[in-house]
Amino acid sequence: MKKIKICLPSYKDLISLWPDVANWSQDWAFWPIEEVLKSLQSEGCFVAIATENDQVLGFSFWKYVAGEGELLFVFVPQAGRGRGIARQMLEFSLSHLKSVGVDLVFLEVRFSNLAAIRLYEALGFNLLSTRKQYYKDGEDALVYSRELA
C-alpha cells in the first residue's frame, strides 16, 4: 500500500534517497543534496515522499510564501511511472498547501514532457505562459498555475 508523507528539514529519508537520484535520472545531478537541505531550512518548504513497504517510490519538493506555492520538482523513477504515484503525491501536496493558506500554485514543465503536462492539466492546472529556451539544452518551459479553492 502506497503512503504519502510530508518531510521536514533534514529528513533522513530524503538524505538517504538523494545519492540514488543521479542513477534514476541525469536531470537531478544539478541540485546537490546540500542545496536541497539548505532550501528545506527555509520556512515554507517541504518534501512529499511516496513510500511502499518502507521503499521510497518518489518525491516532490515544494516552496510556499504569502499565499502562493511552487512545485520545484516532482520525481518518480522510470520503473515506477504509470502507477499513479506522482498524482497521489501532487494531490496530497495540494491539499497540504491549501491547509496552510496557499491560494495559488505554480509549476514549470518541459515542453516535451507530455505525460507530466497531461497529469498537471488533469489536476486542474492551466497554462499561463512559456519561458523560451529556459532549460540548459534550450528547451522551452511551460508555466502552469492552479487556484486552490
Q: Compute the distance between CA of residue 135 and CA of residue 55 in angstroms, rounded to an integer.
A: 31
| Tens-digit pLDDT profile for residues 87-102 | 999 999 999 999 999 9
3-state secondary structure of 66: coil
CA-based radius of gyration for the chain: 15
- HSE-up of 83 (CA within 13 Å, CB side)? 16
- Quote the pLDDT of residue 76: 83
Scan for cell 497540504, then name that residue.
Answer: 96
pTM confidence score: 0.81
> CB–CB of 120/109 below 8 Å?
yes
**Vertex 96 angle, CA 128 and 99, to 5°:** 100
Least confident of 47-51, 137-141, 142-146: 47-51
> CA 53, CA 13: separation in Å to the nearest integer?
13
Active site residues: 108, 120
How far apart, in whole angstroms, are the C-alpha atoms of residue 61 and residue 51? Answer: 15
Please provide the CATH number assigned to the domain covering 2-147. Answer: 3.40.630.30
Which of these, 27, 8, 131, 146, lies nearest to 76 by C-alpha position? Answer: 27
Distance CA 22, CA 25 (A): 5
Strand partners, 110: 141
Write down the residue that cell numbers 491549501 correspond to. Answer: 98
Residue 53, pLDDT score: 78
Domain boundaries in the chain? 2-147
* Torsion angle in degrees (nearest 10) through CA of 112, 85, 100, 126: 30
User: In the predicted model, is pLDDT for residue 85 greater than 60?
Assistant: yes
